[in-house]
Amino acid sequence: MFAIQLSTWLWTPASRAGVVASRLVAVIATTAAITLLGTRITHINATTIGFAYLVGVLVVATRWGFAEALLSSFLAVLCFNFFFLPPVGTFNIVHPQNWVALFAFLATSVIASQLSARAKQRTQEALDRQKEMERLYALSRAILLADASDSPAKRIADRIREIFDFPALALYDCTTGQIHRSGPVDLPDIDDTLRRVSEQEKRISDSARNLTVIPIHLSGRPIGSLAISGVTLSDPALQALSNLVAVTLEKVRGQEAANRAEAARQSQELKSTLLDALAHEFKTPLTAIKAATTELLSSPVAGAEEQRELITIVDEEADRLGRLVTEAIQMARIEAGKIQLKTGLYSVEALISPALQQMNSMTEGRTVSVNISGDLPLIAADQELMRMALHQLLDNALKYSPPGSPIAVTAEKAQLHVIISVSDQGPGIRAQERSRIFEKFYRSPGTPQNVTGAGMGLAIALEIARAHGGNIQVENNPAGGAKFSIAIPVGEEEGTT
């Protein structure tokens, strides 16, 4: 036991010479311990001590291996002869019976060492296979469960290297033609080999460089190849590794194709939603114009008053169409991420009133109260874009609150911002929807089907506010209804007016 403990303790230093020396010491110590036991502590007969030596040899064999056990056997034979076989104290053997005993002992211990060393080797191999399996399993989990990333092949290469602890690795993906390297050691001049292995589907081993290149293919189709330096894996494990990489890369390809199809479908859907909404927005003024002009053309008896009324409508609706076209163009620009601010200094009234005027023909007798606190500074803003943003908030309030209910517009200063708010008395916005309503094309699932719009309004308003260095927030009023607040920073130079 002493010897085993000693050797375990000595095993920790990693150097090869240290290992050999410590085992040598341990083998000698084991034999010495048994010899001491037989000569000094108790007096036992030669047969019994022979068995004791044999046990020592077996322990060494199972612990370390055949070489150590062989050494131990010869030491034991020498000690057995010297200390126990008469004449004791010499290496001479007088009685032929003792020769037989000595050789029987030597043969037994050598054969037993060999058997137990072989058993130990088998165990070690099984442990290695088990470790390979565990690593392959860990790898399959790591790469199959990983989130989609920009470069899945690179990610696979990194994971294999980390989990198997290879010094260097290169993965060739023949779909993209890219080679992904991983590891602290570089693999130079490997590119051609990788391509050749992938095409020929034949493994190459270069023992001089300690390099293995395996093909990766799935159902007869080449997918790529994998070069690994410092391979310690068994053939089945390498094959499993190759299959795992093949399946993963295939899965990634499939996923990418599905994503592209889904993106195309969504963009198609968005386009048609947008077109529907645009069609409705444009058709409303067109309907009024068409109805009025056809009436004017067909009705020779129409009175002057009727004519004037109809022409006024045509005039107003033509303006509205013009605004819609401008807005559609702005919308397209904002969509494309190109907002150009034509900034001027405006009072808050000058920013709010164009939006209110535009809403006039749509508020239908609703009360729109405006409450602007007295001490507001001028704001550096693009008047046209601010009109659009406020129009979207007002339009939203009109659409999503009951007909006839009042709408309140307030403006106040809060530290470095001027905050313009639009409050309605509709159902308000549920907490979980508050961030989503600013997404493009998002429309609340509760939106009645006949509320028109493309789900662009709030997204546009937010883009405009951000272009001004501001933001839009939504909350629910304590008394009910939603309150949208657009915050625009007060510039330093105009903060003092």
Partner 1 sequence: MSAGRILVVDDEPQIRRVMRTSLVTRGYEAAEARSGEEALEKTRAGRYDLVLLDINMPGMGGLEACRAIRSGSDVAIIMLTVRNAEEDKVEALDAGADDYVTKPFGTPELLARIRAALRRAPVPSDAGPQRIHLEETEIDFPSRRVSVRGRQTRLTPKEFDLLRFLVTHPNKTIPHRELLQAVWGPEYGEELEYLRVFINQLRKKIEPNPAKPKYLLTDPWVGYRFALPKQD
Q: Which residues bind partner 1 (CB under 8 A)?
A: 279-280, 283-292, 294-295, 298-299, 301-303, 306, 309-310, 313, 316-317, 320, 361-362, 364, 399, 402-403, 448-452
Q: Hey, is 190 helix, strand or coil? A: coil
- How far apart, in whole angstroms, are the C-alpha atoms of residue 136 and residue 238? 10
What is the closest distance, in whole angstroms, from the C-beta atom of residue 453 to partner 1 in the complex? 10
The answer to whether the beta carbons of residues 324 and 318 sit under 8 Å apart is no
Strand ranges across the sheet with 221-229: 178-182, 168-173, 221-229, 211-218, 204-206
Which amino acid, one-letter code, is at 304? Answer: A
Q: Tell the residue number behind the tokens 């401008």, with chain if given.
A: 326
Taking alpha carbons only, the member of 358, 389, 366, 396 closest to residue 461 is: 389
Instruction: Report strand pairing: 407-414 vs 368-372.
Output: parallel
Looking at the Cβ atoms of 367 and 497, the one nearer to partner 1 is: 367
The answer to whether the beta carbons of residues 152 and 175 sit under 8 Å apart is no
Looking at the Cβ atoms of 366 and 440, the one nearer to partner 1 is: 366
What is the closest distance, in whole angstroms, from the C-beta atom of residue 249 to partner 1 in the complex? 46
- DSSP classification of residue 37: I
Looking at the Cβ atoms of 240 and 394, the one nearer to partner 1 is: 394
Looking at the Cβ atoms of 224 and 481, the one nearer to partner 1 is: 481
Which amino acid, one-letter code, is at 15? Answer: S
With DSSP H G I counted as helix, E B as strand and the rest as coil, what are the percentages for the chain, rounded to 5? 60, 15, 25
What is the closest distance, in whole angstroms, from the C-beta atom of residue 388 to partner 1 in the complex? 20
Q: Which residues pair with 222 in a beta bridge?
A: 217
Taking alpha carbons only, the member of 413, 408, 388 closest to residue 323 is: 388
Looking at the Cβ atoms of 456 and 486, the one nearer to partner 1 is: 456
Looking at the Cβ atoms of 320 and 387, the one nearer to partner 1 is: 320
Which amino acid, one-letter code, is at 243? Answer: N
Looking at the Cβ atoms of 143 and 292, the one nearer to partner 1 is: 292
